[in-house]
Chains A and B, each alone.
Chain A
Amino acid sequence: MEALFAIMIGTLTAGGVYLLLRARTFPVIVGLTLVSYAVNLFLFSMGRLQTGVPAVIGQGESYADPLPQALVLTAIVIGFAMTAFALALALRSLGEEGTDHVDGKDAEEGT
Chain B
Amino acid sequence: MNHLPVLPVLLPMFAGAWLAMTTGGGRGSHRLLSLMATLLQIPLAAALIYRAGGGISVYALGNWPPPFGIVLVVDRLAALMLLTTAVLAVAALLYALRGDDEEGKSFHTLFQFQLMGINGAFLTGDLFNLFVCFEILLIASYGLLLHGSDRLRTRAGLSYVVLNITGSALFLIALGIFYGGAGTINMADLAVRIAGVPPPDAPLFGAAGALLWTAFGLKAAAFPLHFWLPRAYAAAAAPAAALFAVMTKVGIYAILRVDTLIFNRGAGVLAMFAHDWLWAAALITITLGAVGALAARNIGALVAYLVLSSVGVLLAAVVLGSREALVAGLYYLIHSTWISGALFLLAGVIARARGPAVAGLLIPGPPLGRPWFLSGLFFAGAVAVAGMPPFSGFLGKALLLAAAGDGPPALGLYTAVLGGGLLILIALSRAGSTLFWRQTETAAPGGTPDPVRLGAAVLLLAAAPILVIGAGPILAYLDGAAGQLLSPAVYIAEVLPHLTAPSGGSP
Contact = CB atoms under 8 A, between A and B. Distances in A.
A17 B161 CA distance: 16
Contact of B176 (A29, A46, A78): A46
A106 interface: no
A22 B139 CA distance: 24
Interface in B165-210: 165-166, 168-169, 172-173, 175-177, 179-180
B142 interface: yes
A98 B283 CA distance: 40
A68 interface: yes
Contact of A32 (B157, B166, B175): B166
A39 B179 contact: no
Given A43-B172, A97-B151, A89 B139 contact: no
Interface string B325-339: 000000000000000
B172 A39 contact: yes
A8 interface: no
Chain B interface bracket (under 10, 10 to 19, 20 to 34, 35 or more): 20 to 34
B135 A78 contact: yes
Interface in B127-151: 128, 132, 135, 138-139, 142, 146, 151
B154 to A, nearest CB: 5
* Majority secondary structure of chain A interface residues (helix, strand, loop or mixed): helix
A85 interface: yes
A79 B138 CA distance: 12
A23 interface: no
A18 to B, nearest CB: 13
B175 A43 contact: yes
A106 to B, nearest CB: 13
B106 to A, nearest CB: 14
Most central of A28, A85, A102 by chain B CB within 10 Å: A85
Contact of A36 (B138, B151, B165, B179): B165
Interface string A5-32: 0000000000000001000010011001
A55 interface: no
Contacts of B159: 102
A104 B135 CA distance: 26
Contacts of A43: 172, 175-176, 179
A71 B155 contact: no
Nearest to B135: A78
B180 A35 contact: no
B139 A71 contact: no
Contacts of A96: 151, 154
Nearest to B181: A46
A89 B158 contact: yes
Given A45-B180, A82-B138, A102-B158, 13 more contacts: A20-B162, A20-B166, A32-B166, A43-B176, A67-B179, A68-B179, A75-B172, A82-B135, A85-B142, A85-B161, A86-B161, A93-B158, A104-B151
Interface of A: 20, 25, 28-29, 32, 35-36, 39-40, 42-43, 45-47, 67-68, 71, 74-75, 78-79, 81-83, 85-86, 89-90, 92-93, 96-97, 102-104
Interface of B: 128, 132, 135, 138-139, 142, 146, 151, 154-155, 157-159, 161-162, 165-166, 168-169, 172-173, 175-177, 179-180
